[in-house]
Structure 1
Amino acid sequence: MGVLAAALSLAWALALGCAHPLPHNETEAAGGGQPHGPEPHGNDTALAQLCADEGGFDAATLSENGSVLLFRGPEVWEIPRGGGQPHSRPLAASWPELGGPVDAALRLPRRQRPQEHQSLHLFQGEQVWAYAGGRLRPGFPRPIAEEFPGIPGGLDAAVECHAEECGGESVLFFKGRTWYLFDLELRVAKARAWPGPGPCGAALRWLGRFYCLWGARFQRFQPLTGHLPHGYPRDLRDYFLPCPGRGARHGNASWGAAGERCSKEPFQAALADDSGRLYAFRGGLSFRLDSHRDGHHAWPVGQTWPGLEGAVDAAFAWDGRTYVIQGSEVSVFRSEQGHRRVLGYPRALQEELGVPGADAAFTCPGSAQLYVIAGSRARLVDLTRTPRRAGEPLPLPHEHVDGAICTDDGVFLFCGAGYHRYASVAELLRAREPAPAQAIAARFFQCPQ
């Protein structure tokens, strides 16, 4: 069983109360700090002791390469993304500059600043340490008050929040019953009362979902509103740690091959949204395709697009909205700060887009030109016009297309277990023969050929 599923079970277990193997084949240096030696002995005993008590963690985050890091006292537990058993080691083995336990940890989102993006920040007392590529960044440690004006020292927890979730690249800080939203671009902090049942001892963002941990329990929350979903709190030892005799690691067999990223089962739809996120849909489930750093996991479609259920036939994004086509209907979701269905949807596809159905659909970045594919033909719809009408059918070099996306890297048509890449829409429409087929599982999920 893959370690992320066995040890965290966050994607499957938090969505459906079950876990699933999610192995990877990449081999990377783990931890995001200084390289460390062989895995310490005696971790089975240490893990058993950890599972036996009610203690929690001081901090939690993902490393630069996607391993899960759980800090406790002078040690850190690591759950490798690429396989292997969870293990603990002294903090000094990876971060020798630290002189004791950390208060909080996060992986900073700064897409426009490559030297800072994905750097690991560790907080201790009044100071913060920042590591990039496993090395302490120049100028650190620094006072928290200088690096994050308005944020106090002695933090309980911290977690990053990406632009698509918080309206701008931000950090959430927790101290007692107060939490702070810090805008990384504006360098402004806003304080508010934390609505959770207890203070956060640690916080973690994983695949766009946010978790507050305290003691042996955890609570999922929405980062802007603080909304707390029903069904929480839950016990860490049933989801985060592979404790003997515990855990919700059953029941996902009903998903079958649909939930296996490497199964070669065809996808029914694909989507590239305005923020650059990539999705594929199969059997009422959705996968993130652009999350290789942290793993690939299936979610029921309603987990990402509330109110939606069942198979998706086609999907595309335009003007900050996501359009999801099911049969002869289309639902529209606002994409900013999570997906929220627009009032009045679903509506008839013919009324909304001027087409009766779709096998696939795509828009290219920055374009209002929608291509709707049915059978071996594509029809162009100008999304800026009202009412919308579809143009004349345009021949494609494919008899059938399951899904389609357009990115800065070109147009990708999903057909069965393979995809066909075209450098542009013009190249696709000129083609008389399909482009060479390549494996979806290998390109988008890093599965073995």
Structure 2
Amino acid sequence: MKLLAHILGLCLALALTDADHHEHHDHHDHHAHHAADLDRCEGMEMDAVAVNEEGIPYFFKCDHLFKGFHGKAELSNETFAELDDHHHLGHVDAAFRMHYEGQADHDHMFFFLDNKVFSYYQHKLEEGYPKDISEVFPGIPDHLEAAVECPKPECDEDSVIFFKGHEIFHYNVRTKAVEEKEFKSMPNCTSAFRFMEHYYCFHGHMFSKFDPKTGDVHGKYPKEARDYFMRCSKFSDNSDHVERERCSRVHLDAITSDNAGNIYAFRGHHFLRKDEGNDTLKADTIESAFKELHSEVDAVFSYDDHLYMIKDEQLYVYKVGEPHTHLDGYPKPVKTELGIEGHIDAAFVCEHGDGAHIAHFIKGNHIYDVDMKASPRVQKNERPISLFKKVDTAMCGPGGVKVIVGNHFYHFDNVMLFVASRALPEQHRVSLELFGCDH
């Protein structure tokens, strides 16, 4: 209750600050202060959640917005400028992204505030908005609590599901027909969103995965939102570390597989290890196995029975073993040790084949090679990657290269095909197909 009171007080403080907007133009410092108070890792109830056109989730709280799975709050009106013009309370009741090919509103984001709806396309307010909810979505009530898009065949027709208390409305996008449903097994949603073809109902700082047609909740729910949709250093006491890390929707920072085929995957303050020929996963803090690193690595690659770990401008090297041994004299600057500079998004070595001593480094949409046997080591063979503007991480094993972007990975038989490909190969889910998550 203490936390709830704090958040309610905070929203009120933000609202009061916002109400002063037209009288005082120096209120930004107040907002910055309050944004600092909004710590999603403390556990909070979001007002609304929606995924933007690039697949990045936006979490709304009061008149602030969290983009993605980590990072600080920012003012909602910095991204969606007109949200404050009509409603000085500065909150969002519900939000969703219309995602139906062929519809005029495809990829538009809709926000609901009291009795009004705002439609944005590429962060610009559409002409004529805001409008009354009843005009744009006839049959849907005001003061909603949540909304989520539901395309065919996940729903019988291309639909939007609206939530208000116990009332659930399926709105047919094409015919504008409204069907009222009863979702008996689901708690009242304070926000909802569709992510990787699954549907999530948030209630407080917990969430449940539900069937959009029936509202049925299968499996062990509710679960803690911080464990799966945010990158936090501390988790609830009853958090199952392995379950959380294998099923987290937060993108990986780094991944590698060693010569024996064991996979190491790093995210925030934790890492997962999956041993070759064994489906058992182990999860632990980075601090426990790589204490010199502490947490949050940028890139990791395996070479010659060592793990090369890059964090900022520094390189750490560990000999693979039980436990891993940190080599004396490290960390050393990445530039002097590897001959490469600037922020590195991903690194990997294909140890099975002709280029077994070539380390590949990805920075933005370019890839570079470094010969690990050369002295001194220098970056060479720069070439553009046509398929991706940015990757999160990548690894190479006997089967080829796996490139991870967000929650998905793509398989290429070799580095040359990865660099030269013009068409995306089949998309695979990281949590499901790399780590065997069942939800």
Instruction: Name the TM-score class by shorter chain.
Output: 0.3 to 0.5
Give the TM-score, by structure 1 length: 0.46
Give the TM-score, by structure 2 length: 0.47
